[in-house]
Amino acid sequence: MAQTPHDAPGTDDAGDIAKAGPRGRMLLAGVVLFALAMAAAFHFHALPLLQAAVSGTPTPDNIVAIKAIFIGIAGLGALTAIAWIRYALRMLRHRQDPPPGAWLWRDTKIVRGAAAVRRARLSIAGAVLACAVCIGFAAYIAIALDRLAAQLRAADGIEIVHRKIIVTK
């Protein structure tokens, strides 16, 4: 049977399926384990600091720790957005979604041509927006907490202890 131009590889044939492999499933398992580890770390380390800051006057050390936590979260978001941009650029370069060699966790229908380019451009725009939001969020939190820390500093000889002022001179 002769091959028609529609059946030739690289055309907008919608019947192709990209098969999932063990690498994609291992990647998914790794991402899930990482997310669980981050949730546990937030619960056991960050949440007590945030509760202490909300329930009373936070100490300057607490403010530094809280700032580091939020900047770390924003940094993870920015790194995720950068990885998303790299994936979308591969989609754009190959004019195919998922691009060749992608780690898939389930069998996925291949989209080629203009639809794949449109998806890639939307992904790039979404990732750039997400990265900008993460960086802006980190900057906002850092500035707000720096202002709060400046208000908490006491004069020499005065120590603030749980909303009580103790004069040591």
The pLDDT profile of the chain, 169 residues, written as one tens digit per residue, is 444 444 444 445 556 888 888 888 888 889 889 989 988 888 887 788 777 766 766 677 777 778 888 888 888 888 999 999 999 999 999 999 899 888 888 888 999 999 999 999 999 999 999 999 988 988 898 888 877 776 666 555 555 555 555 566 6
Contact 28, 108 (CB under 8 A): no
Q: How far apart are CA 99 and CA 42, in angstroms?
A: 34
HEC readout, 63-103: HHHHHHHHHHHHHHHHHHHHHHHHHHHHHHHHCEECCCCCC
Per-residue confidence (pLDDT) for residue 84, from 0 to 100? 92
Among candidates 127, 67, 141, which has minimal Cα distance to 92?
127
Per-residue confidence (pLDDT) for residue 27, from 0 to 100? 85
